[in-house]
Structure 1
Amino acid sequence: MTTTEAAPDTLRRILDYSSRADPYPLYAELRRTPVARQEDGSYVVSTYREIADLLHDPHLSSDVRNLTRPMPSAEGSTTPAFINMDPPEHDRLRRMAMRHFGPPHTPGLVAGLDPVLSAIVGDLIDDCAGKEEIDIVDDFAYPFPVTVICHLLGVPREDEPRFRLWVNDIIDAIAYDPKTDPKEKLEKGLQARQDLRQYLGGLLEQRHGRPGDDLLARLANDDGPDGRMTDEEIVSTANLLLIAGHETTVNLITNGMLTLLRHPEVFQRLRDDPGLVVPLVEELLRYEPPVHIIPWRAAYSDITVADTAIPKGSQIMLMLASGSRDPDRFHEPDRFDPDRRDNQHLGFGSGIHLCFGGPMARRETQIALTELVRRLDRPRLVTDPPPYRRSPILRGPIHLRVAQGDGVLPTDT
């Protein structure tokens, strides 16, 4: 397959902030060339089959050191999170984390948090009572997951506001572009990571020799089949959970409310039938996903994808959101359909790097959307499209202002 000249220009337009509100027509344009070589020697993959195959391809590396062309990093640590590692170290650390975070060793963790999640959601909605206008992001979607993650890690509630500032700076740095962004953006992200790691390290020191129910205590005192994580590995894992878990959940909830308010018939269906929320969230992960791009993978060796030869060490960018709207895989992909069947979307990636916090993000979003739909009184968008975050990678509104009828409905409505 031949690379066209239009593809590099299409990618530039996708990454430009002016396209943030609706990149999907540009994704359709990009899919005309499933594998497109860019001017800098990197490759962009935009179609479902090719993305899915590469996510399971052992010839692709998640370790930045395998790139021929170095990339600026906002990691700021000698021990990266396991999401940026390859087997066997990735597999070992992921197994150790999952022993305390989900199936098969702790299958009831997510379901067991339902009372906590419902209580947090209820309190946040109660705080909106009497307001004629609320911001779904500031008043709800942002504080909800950070409160949940702090609960999981054992972080005192009074320290939660500091986490929001750190997360903002770190997310900004993830989208750092050395061609257009000031170096201060990257430096601010690095400092935030260092501050966060130092704080988590202090909490971890208090957990050694003191078994407890929070994730830091479990990791600090566990000697499982794979041994025990080092303190640096525990801090990196906690940092991954906070940053990746928080931002994806914020975007998923906010994109979800935006989509429901744009589709009032589905909004009413969910209010009448709360059980609809499970397939609805899966369709949201396909239709308006929180993660649009995996910005890089590295080719371990020379590979061929869709008849395009990719040299060893090349950077490969996977356009997840484009793949999930590929008409060769999904019927009427630009239609929001919570009744869609065979919905094998790429919302949380796939393969060995499938988002390990996905079950938690799903459940948080299911509870959040169910309660927002049930208790907000005749909500309607104040601005459409809303303002979006700068990042094309983790895409979601930075604010979502919603006007209400007579305010929040009572909890027993």
Structure 2
Amino acid sequence: MGSNRPSTLAPDFFSPRFREQAYTLYRDLREKGAVHPIQMPSGEPAWLVTRYDAALAALKDPRFIKNPRTLPDWKDDLPEEIEVFDEHMLAADPPDHTRLRNLVHQAFTPRMIEGMNHRIQEIADTLLDQIASTPSRRCDLIDAYAFPLPILVICEMLGIPADDRKRFREWSNALLATTNRPEKMEEARPKMKEFQEYLGELFHMRRSDPADDLVSRLVHVEEEGSRLTSNELYSMIFLLIIAGHETTVNLIGNGVLALFQHREQRELLRRRPELLDHAVEEILRYYSPVEMATDRWAAEDLSFFGEPIPQGSLVIVALGSANRDKSQFPEPDRFDITRQPNRHLAFGMGIHYCLGAPLARLEAKIAIPTLLERLPELTLDFGEEPLPWRQDFLMRGLTKLPVRF
């Protein structure tokens, strides 16, 4: 399936140095058009959407579906250990998507998120107490702060022991590495088997001894039979863990990086704390934590922004590119915490708009100013080496953020 149109973009697009060059490459692509043929590492042809107007349209267009199993002649070759985690909201279309989203919507209401404010502040203060007591006055801010804060929050919401958070990092990294990279599947299988066994034990415990947490509620729903299958339960918990912390880890890390790369904006935020909401939105736009929206496929032969896209074609929306489009954002490569309006697409758009966006925003609005207030002498501790961007396909985030204080 898909287009056989040749592509010259793949070598640059998937090179290890892509993250460093991405914004220049995106700008060049936007100048040439809105939609571009590329080739995935597997050899599969795909279409990359780079302009803001086209990205917004693609995210809302029902002709681009999330579950390719409904396509004619679709062959699903996911290993069993990975397939069990592939029946979640982001891989579903209505009516399944609507049903699954409604099940977890109760946990992400504005009132519930606002109720987390005090607990998030406690976690941030505890982590910064630990950092401040470090004898070397140095640390990796990803490991010490940006990662543990959101994983502790989502673990508490789900009712998962916080001591297991490092294992979640291994599991999530293993699965994210397989995105559009079939050669990584075999490597990920043992980790995914471990994760499935872990969740199976947790579900068994919550069935016999339910608690006031989201896992207990979802297990109860699964037992009703018709509303949540076993694979949907595994997939839902996995998605909540991934979506509940991966984006926020990147948001906090990218935010600190951007503020320290632009000293005048950091000082402006210190002087005018009322700009915090705008600052978080600009971080989301400037260094979008999710670089690529999750996969979509053309449900039919169609024309999209002048390009004929055959049925079954893989379509990828480059959120990081759309958020640097000068047609929507004046001086798009300038980091400006006073930017208004700022209608970025960092959390997507349409029916798949990120359910956890309010929680991610709240965590960033607590984590970043608390860090700046508690460690006012904080500085980045990088040498001349390139920034250590993660190499998985979907995310833009740092693998480490060394600082001294």
Same fold per superposition (TM over 0.5): yes
Q: How far off its partner does 1:187 sit?
A: 2.2
96, 101, 106: which one pairs with 1:94?
101
Rounded to whole Å, the distance in 2 between the matches of 1:312 and 1:116 is 48
2:398 corresponds to which letter in structure 1?
P
Hey, what does 1:292 align to over in structure 2? 291
Which deviates the most, 231-240 or 309-318? 231-240
Q: How far off its partner does 1:22 sit?
A: 4.0
| CA offsets 1:367-386 (integer angstroms, 9 cap, x no match) | 11011111113222221642
The 8 Å contact of residues 293 and 392 in structure 1, kept in 2 or not, is answered as yes
2:164 corresponds to which letter in structure 1?
D
2:38 corresponds to which letter in structure 1?
Q
SS at match of 2:20: coil
Q: How far off its partner does 1:212 sit?
A: 3.2
Closer, same or farther: CA 156–295 of 1 in aligned 2, 3 Å: closer
SS at match of 1:159: helix
Hey, what does 2:51 align to over in structure 1? 47
Aligned residues: 390
Which deviates the most, 378-387 or 122-131? 378-387
Hey, what does 2:170 align to over in structure 1? 165
2:280 corresponds to which letter in structure 1?
V
Which deviates the most, 227-236 or 165-174? 227-236
Rounded to whole Å, the distance in 2 between the matches of 1:233 and 1:352 is 19
Hey, what does 2:143 align to over in structure 1? 138
1:369-380 equivalent positions in 2, closer than 5 A: 369-380=368-379
Q: How far off its partner does 1:281 sit?
A: 0.9
Rounded to whole Å, the distance in 1 between the matches of 2:400 and 2:21 is 16
1:119-138 equivalent positions in 2, closer than 5 A: 119-131=122-134, 132-138=137-143
Hey, what does 1:36 align to over in structure 2? 36
Q: How far off its partner does 1:219 sit?
A: 2.3
SS at match of 1:277: helix
Q: How far off its partner does 1:69 sit?
A: 7.3
Q: Determine if the alignment matches structure 1 residue 206 to structure 2 residue 205.
A: yes
2:37 corresponds to which letter in structure 1?
R
Gaps of 5+ in 1: 405-413
Hey, what does 1:312 align to over in structure 2? 311
Hey, what does 1:265 align to over in structure 2? 264
Q: How far off its partner does 1:166 sit?
A: 1.6
SS at match of 1:266: helix
Q: How far off its partner does 1:157 sit?
A: 2.5
1:124 corresponds to which letter in structure 2?
L
Q: Determine if the alignment matches structure 1 residue 112 to structure 2 residue 115.
A: yes
SS at match of 1:337: coil
In angstroms, what is the RMSD of aligned CA positions? 2.6
| CA offsets 1:7-57 (integer angstroms, 9 cap, x no match) | 943453132111313410110011122111235532111111111111111
Rounded to whole Å, the distance in 2 between the matches of 1:254 and 1:29 is 27
1:142 corresponds to which letter in structure 2?
F
Hey, what does 1:186 align to over in structure 2? 185
2:403 corresponds to which letter in structure 1?
V
Q: How far off its partner does 1:403 sit?
A: 1.8
Q: Determine if the alignment matches structure 1 residue 344 to structure 2 residue 343.
A: yes
Closer, same or farther: CA 319–79 of 1 in aligned 2, 3 Å: closer
Closer, same or farther: CA 71–346 of 1 in aligned 2, 3 Å: farther
SS at match of 1:317: strand
Hey, what does 1:394 align to over in structure 2? 395
Hey, what does 1:229 align to over in structure 2? 228
Closer, same or farther: CA 28–16 of 1 in aligned 2, 3 Å: same
Q: How far off its partner does 1:231 sit?
A: 4.2
Q: How far off its partner does 1:222 sit?
A: 5.3
Q: How far off its partner does 1:159 sit?
A: 2.4
| CA offsets 1:120-161 (integer angstroms, 9 cap, x no match) | 111111111144212111111111111111111111223223
The 8 Å contact of residues 147 and 160 in structure 1, kept in 2 or not, is answered as yes
Q: How far off its partner does 1:312 sit?
A: 0.9
Which deviates the most, 69-78 or 231-240? 69-78
Higher helix proportion, which one? Answer: 2
Closer, same or farther: CA 130–288 of 1 in aligned 2, 3 Å: same
Closer, same or farther: CA 266–80 of 1 in aligned 2, 3 Å: same
Off by >6 Å, runs of 4+ in structure 1: none
1:150 corresponds to which letter in structure 2?
C
Q: Determine if the alignment matches structure 1 residue 153 to structure 2 residue 153.
A: no
Q: How far off its partner does 1:252 sit?
A: 0.9
TM-score using structure 2 length: 0.89
2:49 corresponds to which letter in structure 1?
V
| CA offsets 1:256-280 (integer angstroms, 9 cap, x no match) | 0000001112212323333322111
Q: How far off its partner does 1:227 sit?
A: 7.0
Which deviates the most, 225-234 or 23-32? 225-234
Q: How far off its partner does 1:112 sit?
A: 0.6
Rounded to whole Å, the distance in 2 between the matches of 1:375 and 1:11 is 44
Closer, same or farther: CA 216–283 of 1 in aligned 2, 3 Å: same
Hey, what does 1:59 align to over in structure 2? 63
Rounded to whole Å, the distance in 1 between the matches of 2:119 and 2:239 is 22
Rounded to whole Å, the distance in 1 between the matches of 2:211 and 2:111 is 17
Which deviates the most, 72-81 or 298-307? 72-81
